[in-house]
A and B are shown apart, each in its own frame.
Chain A
């Protein structure tokens, strides 16, 4: 264990609450965030079977306004925001001119002239600069992260827990839609979105209400068995659900085709940043593709470990960990396109030792409908 040089970490409005609850804290993207409270496995299982509460106030928010707002969103991101209805959100990628990821994000349509983008904590300043640099549409771009805290209530019992604190009918908010309403008397954007593979909500509100909302939600969730969850469980949950994490499955060297994200890349819309490069890559063929794998013994193929196919290094693991709900060790990796067939036997090189693994379908986990 090394002692790192003192750096000024950013803190969410709930920092002292996490510390008081005995959370183990970690530097994540320059933020001092809870890694775990009661343990990653217990927190993971709570979200799969009951509910968990996450402080995700480190996430960045960017708002784009004005008559050119849609044009700017369409130009910098690969999904088709023209298809969004007011009150709807979708997953998308913020693209470089090479068709690679500056970031991944959720785009929320407030109105024809107002969009809110939820972006990764560690990328929010780069994203803001990137969007400004590509703003040929005279749209207004605001880095509104400091105006929002965000809590995620996730799990099969999330709706009944949140419903106790809000007058509106949550069941009326469909998956990947949102509404404005009060939670515990506080004005919130209530979105039925998440990063866990479970049903649930992400609520956005002014930071000064953070402690009140955290405490009220914890109390509302008590009988349902909701527990606070940290970034450790958030990572194992998202990987089990086959969701990408920036810096792992995707970065500024990977394209949506390679990452299995063709479903967010809408070539039929007008030309956008990176679309020429993406068309070209589609025609030329992919150098690699993202796959899921499971380990065939008890070892864990972790991020960065080499993937070996037929005694040659064929790629690298992008994420790997135990999957607490599925009770096996899983991971994602980039491999050559001719080695992606489900059932292909591969090896993960773990400190020089080959550990057997098998390519399996993504996602690893799908919640029961």
Chain B
């Protein structure tokens, strides 16, 4: 379910690193919690993003959710697919519905993020607290 070569945050973002480029999206758990996604607000190419700071927002029918960047860097690309088809986040959150790509300011930041096994353990804890 959660790709083994991605890293994850507690706010339910993922990042895939290739060289000095990171691709960022939201997790399947996040899209399930949000429900039908209707609008995505992304930064401009060239924007400087800091780890832990908002990089934009994803809106579902019922709520707006801030997206926090897992790492720092400069935005090199935003996903054009999401302009007209934001609902792709509900069907393919880990692949075609990525949000932005950025040039990593400090590749070492990635090491502090959760791997897939740690993230899966984390969300199963969250689910337990929800149903308690």
Contacting A1 at CB < 8 Å: which of B59, B62, B126? B126
Complex Cα distance A322/B34, Å?
Answer: 14
A-B contact count (CB 8 A): 41
**Given A321-B62, A322-B61, residue A41 in contact with residue B36 (CB < 8 A):** yes
Query: Is A298 within 8 A of B35, CB to CB?
Result: no
Asked if A6 is at the interface (CB within 8 A of a chain B CB), the reply is yes
Complex Cα distance A236/B33, Å?
Answer: 18
Complex Cα distance A39/B89, Å?
Answer: 14
Complex Cα distance A324/B41, Å?
Answer: 19
Asked if B117 is at the interface (CB within 8 A of a chain A CB), the reply is no
Query: Is A6 within 8 A of B132, CB to CB?
Result: yes
Query: Is A39 within 8 A of B36, CB to CB?
Result: yes
Question: What total of chain A residues lie within 8 Å of the partner, measured CB to CB?
Answer: 19
- B interface residues (Cβ-Cβ under 8 A, vs A): 12, 32-33, 35-36, 38-39, 41, 59-62, 64, 90, 126, 129-130, 132
Query: Is A300 within 8 A of B38, CB to CB?
Result: yes
Asked if A90 is at the interface (CB within 8 A of a chain B CB), the reply is no
Contacting B35 at CB < 8 Å: which of A1, A24, A299, A300? A24
Complex Cα distance A12/B17, Å?
Answer: 47
**Given A1-B126, A24-B35, A299-B39, residue A321 in contact with residue B132 (CB < 8 A):** no
Over the window 80-111 of chain A, the binary record of Cβ atoms lying under 8 Å from chain B Cβ atoms (1 yes, 0 no) is: 00000000000000000000000000000000
Residues of chain B lying within 8 A (CB to CB) of residue A300: 38-39, 59, 64
Query: Is B36 within 8 A of A40, CB to CB?
Result: yes
Residues of chain B lying within 8 A (CB to CB) of residue A299: 39, 41
Complex Cα distance A322/B38, Å?
Answer: 8
Q: How far is the CB of A366 from chain B (nearest CB, A)?
A: 21
Query: Is A35 within 8 A of B59, CB to CB?
Result: no
Over the window 255-266 of chain A, the binary record of Cβ atoms lying under 8 Å from chain B Cβ atoms (1 yes, 0 no) is: 000000000000
Contacting A232 at CB < 8 Å: which of B62, B64, B129, B132? B62
Contacting A324 at CB < 8 Å: which of B61, B126, B129, B132? B61
Query: Is A40 within 8 A of B132, CB to CB?
Result: no
A298 (CB) vs chain B CBs: closest residue: B39
